[in-house]
């Protein structure tokens, strides 16, 4: 499906049930997020939807939410000039441009907001499709923490730290 049919917008209150479905499924896969499985909707919401200056968005194709992202300052105060982001794409939408659309949106918003850079603190090193996308968008891997993520099927794998100057 063409990327042009993907709309990215801020999350609305009525979006949460669908976002929670995606959140729960991605976390349950055990391949990309260290969140505890079986979180309640309220607990997941408190992790995924942050207050300002953080933002949470959804990506829709034909009016259906296919993914979600959150972004904002990587650290508070003296580290707040560097942004960070996290992305979740529904299993059925992976490889269709949803992740790219959200990543491009987040990078553009970070630039508009005056961030100096974007840093991803914990990209699972076996998440090759995400890493390939991030590299195409200009990110570089500046280090890997060995065996820092307990992958559901592969055991302990590395977490990459990726960086993009803005």
pLDDT tens for residues 45-56? Answer: 999 998 999 999
Q: Is the pLDDT of residue 3 over 90?
A: no
Q: Is the per-residue pLDDT at 2 higher than 50?
A: no
Going by pLDDT thresholds of 50, 70 and 90, the confidence category of residue 102 is very high
Pairing of the two strands 117-124 and 82-89: parallel
Cβ 13 vs Cβ 38: under 8 Å: no
96 band by pLDDT with thresholds 50, 70 and 90: very high
| Average predicted confidence (pLDDT) for the chain | 96
What is the C-alpha to C-alpha distance for residues 108 and 131, in angstroms, rounded to an integer? 19
Give me the mean pLDDT over the 103-122 stretch.
98
Mean pLDDT of 110-129: 97
Q: Is the pLDDT of residue 142 over 80?
A: yes
pLDDT above 70: residue 139: yes
Over residues 96-119, mean pLDDT = 97
Q: Is the pLDDT of residue 44 over 50?
A: yes
User: 57 vs 4, which has greater pLDDT?
Assistant: 57
User: Regarding the domain delimited by 3-118, which CATH topology (the fold level of the hierarchy) does it fall under?
Assistant: Aminopeptidase (3.40.630)
Contact 85, 106 (CB under 8 A): yes
Average pLDDT value for residue range 160-166:
98
Say what the pTM is.
0.94
Burial of 161 (0-12, 13-18, 19+ CB in 10 A): middle
């Amino acid at each position: 499906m063409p990327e042009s049919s993907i709309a990215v917008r801020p999350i609305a209150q009525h979006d949460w049930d669908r976002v929670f479905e995606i959140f729960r499924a991605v976390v349950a896969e055990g391949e990309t997020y260290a969140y505890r499985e079986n979180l309640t909707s309220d607990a997941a919401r408190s992790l995924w939807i942050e207050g300002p200056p953080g933002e949470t968005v959804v990506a829709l194709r034909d009016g259906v939410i296919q993914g979600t992202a959150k972004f904002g300052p990587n650290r508070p105060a003296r580290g707040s000039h560097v942004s960070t982001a996290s992305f979740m794409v529904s299993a059925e939408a992976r490889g269709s441009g949803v992740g790219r659309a959200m990543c491009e949106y987040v990078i553009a918003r970070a630039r508009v907001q005056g961030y100096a850079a974007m840093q991803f603190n914990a990209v699972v090193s076996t998440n090759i499709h995400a890493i390939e996308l991030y590299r195409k968008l200009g990110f570089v891997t500046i280090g890997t923490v060995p065996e820092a993520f307990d992958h559901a099927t592969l055991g302990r794998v590395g977490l990459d730290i990726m960086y993009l100057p803005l």
